Amino acid sequence: MSLPLVLMLSLFSTMMTLGGAARDRPPAIFVFGDSHVDSGNNNYLLASLSKADHFPNGIDFKASGGMPTGRFTNGRTIADIIGEEIGQLNYAPPFLDQYTTGAALLNGVNYASGAGGILNKTGALYVSRLGMDLQIDYFNSTRQQLDEFLGKIKAGELVQKAIFSITIGANDFLNNYLTFISDFEAPDAYINRLMIALKDQLTRLYHLDARKIVMGSIVPIGCIPYQTSLAPLDETGCAALPNQLAIKYNGKLRDLLTELNQIFPGSNFLYANLYDLLMDVITNHQSYGFETASDACCGNGGVHGGIIACGPASSLCGDRSKYVYWDPYHPTEAANLIVAKKLVHGDAKDISPINIQQLI
């Protein structure tokens, strides 16, 4: 009995992928992090209070025809754009999607989750979310599936050539340390605790064959509309304390990545300087073509529309390309595009010790 045509084509495509065509494929991208790069995992967490599965989120996301996908922005995330820049034809699918299996794993997988953090306690106010420990558990599951699908040798080669993009840490301050759920702790002690946890997590990834890790710093969390709508502002127009914590954390993160590069053979831990990249856009927003770097395009309440999260009843700006911030917490696609391209092609002040293009 002959196979249906669709199945034959699918089998042929898979054979080509596993054969000579695989040599021409761009590297897979495995994405970890929080709502800045979540591509829809939180859609599948029924108890989560952190979701972007509603209009007008995704209004400019061409791949979905302007429908919401679970991305916390009007269009593409930084991780989406990086994938495009290195030649990916498809975005890394969310791990929790039931169809993320088999050949769908070969381009990479997205494990990021809105409200997720380095510490397991982070984001508890939003109930269900995937913290970094759980995201790595899920990658371990993917790793086993790849072994079964490709064989251990080919799976190991795919993973070692892959880009591991990690954007996490902001919630450990915004939705933990700076909230009432946090136990009192001196900033240095708390940041050191984050570094200990993160070192263990990055070590786990290395032992699962991750070799090319792009670790994002914390963005200027004191400049998001949520903070500027509530807190006293400094001369930069941002809330001072959150940014001070972010700068202190970022310094420790850079030191940690330098240490890991020294102790793990064959590793490439890159420091993606998201703080300075986004702060440059905020400070010089007019030269980048933006009209405002303080107001949320989609939101309500407070001076900058940063109190109420983006939803169907929110006020919506007319031209999203003129706003740095999409909602009270997240940049627009236009801002993401600037940052992502500098991570791929930029110099040492943007990403070090090399950029993503050089990494691959």
Residues marked active site are found at: 35, 327, 330
* Cis preceding linkage at 56, omega within 30: yes
Residue keyed to tokens 């991305």: 71
* Cis preceding linkage at 353, omega within 30: yes
Is residue 237 classed exposed, middle or buried when 0-12, 13-18 and 19+ CB atoms within 10 A define those classes? middle
**In the structure encoding, which two tokens stand for residue 54, read together?**
């509603």
CA 19 to chain centre: 31
Q: Report the candidate in 98, 77, 75, 91 with the shortest Cα–Cα distance to residue 28.
A: 91
How many Cβ atoms sit within 10 Å of the Cβ of residue 1?
A: 2
